[in-house]
Amino acid sequence: AQSVSQHNHHVILSEAASLELGCNYSYGGTVNLFWYVQYPGQHLQLLLKYFSGDPLVKGIKGFEAEFIKSKFSFNLRKPSVQWSDTAEYFCAVNLGSARQLTFGSGTQLTVLP
Amino acid sequence: DGGITQSPKYLFRKEGQNVTLSCEQNLNHDAMYWYRQDPGQGLRLIYYSQIVNDFQKGDIAEGYSVSREKKESFPLTVTSAQKNPTAFYLCASSIYGKLFFGSGTQLSVL
C-alpha cells in the first residue's frame, strides 16, 4: 500500500529563516502531489499541487515544492518564513490511476517572532 | 488500534439514489470533517462538526447532509440533489487542532 512520510513532526524557526519540510512517498508509478496547510483555528487550505510538467511548483504565500521522482520526494520550501506561517503542514499523495488520497502525519511549524 | 475508519472504500450510486458514507473514529476526538476531492483539484470542505449534535456547512454543502448523534460517528449522506457526486470523499477528525485522516471512499455514479 502507498504511504506518505513526513519525518519532521515539529519544526521551530525564527523569522526570516529558510524552511524545508520533507515529504516522501512509497509508490513507483504516476503520482499527484499536494501540500496543504492548516492555520490555527482554520480549515485546511491547498498550498500547491503537482500533476505534471515543471517539477518545481510555486504555490501561495511564497511557498514552493520540488518533485524529485528519483528520490520519491516532494519537499516544501520557503526562503524566508514569517510568524504568520505558524501552522500544521500536510503532504498528500494521489496515485495516478486511483482516486485515493493519502496524507502524511503532518508537520507543525512554529515561527518565533 | 485507534484511528478513523471509512466505509465502504468504493461505492456506486444510481441516478436519483441517496447513499450514506460511513466515518467512525475511536480517537475520542470532538471535531470531525468531511472533504471532497475532484480530479485536478484540492480538497473542499463539505461539512464539519465541532461537537456532538452540532454541525456546520462547509464550502460545498449543497446536496449533502450529515448527522452527529454520537461522538464516534459522522456519516455523510449524498442526496439525489447532488448533481455531480462522483468524487473521492475523505473524513477527518481533530484534537487540539491536529488533523487525522481516514482512508477515503470513492463514490461513482452508475
B70 has pLDDT over 90 = yes
Is the CB of B48 less than 8 angstroms away from the CB of A106? no
Q: Confidence band (pLDDT; 50, 70, 90) for B40?
A: confident
A28 has pLDDT over 80 = no
Beta bridge partners of A46: A36
pLDDT of residue B42: 83
Cis status of the peptide bond prior to A40, with omega within 30 of 0: no
Query: CA A86 from chain center: how many Å?
Result: 14
Contacts of B35 in chain A (CB under 8 A): 44
pLDDT of residue A72: 94
pLDDT of residue B63: 96
Q: Which residue of B has its CA nearest to A50?
A: B40
Looking at per-residue confidence, does A73 or A41 come out higher?
A: A73
Mean predicted lDDT score pLDDT of chain B? 92
Q: SS3 of A54, please? A: coil
Query: CA B3 from chain center: how many Å?
Result: 15
How far apart are the C-alpha atoms of A85 and A32, rounded to whole Å? 24
Distances (CA, A) of A62 to A13, A69, B58: 16, 23, 26
pLDDT of residue A49: 92
Nearest in space to B90 (alpha carbons), one of B40, B54, B56, B42: B42
Chain A (29-48) residues lying within 8 Å, Cβ to Cβ, of chain B: 34, 36, 38, 40-41, 43-44, 46
Cβ proximity of B103 and A98 under 8 Å: no
A22 has pLDDT over 80 = yes
pLDDT of residue A99: 66
Is the CB of A36 less than 8 angstroms away from the CB of B43? yes
Q: At which residue does the C-alpha cell 449533502 appear? A: B64
Single-letter amino acid code for the residue at A102: T
Instruction: Give the residue-averaged pLDDT of B12-30.
Output: 93
Which of B33, B45, B101 lies nearest to residue A103, judging by beta carbons?
B101
Contacts of B97 in chain A (CB under 8 A): 38, 40-41, 88
For the four alpha carbons of B32, B36, B42 and B45, in that order, the dihedral sign comes to negative
Query: pLDDT for A54-93, tens place per residue?
Result: 999 999 999 999 999 999 999 999 999 999 999 999 999 9
B1 has pLDDT over 90 = no
CB pairs under 8 A between A and B: 46
Which of A51, A101, A106 lies nearest to residue B90, judging by beta carbons?
A101
pLDDT of residue B39: 79
Distance from CA of B56 to the nearest CA of A (A): 13
Looking at per-residue confidence, does B27 or B97 come out higher?
A: B27
Q: To which H or E segment does residue B44 belong?
A: strand B43-51
Q: Can you give the length of chain B in residues?
A: 110
Rg of chain B over Cα atoms, rounded to whole angstroms, equals 13
B77 has pLDDT over 90 = yes
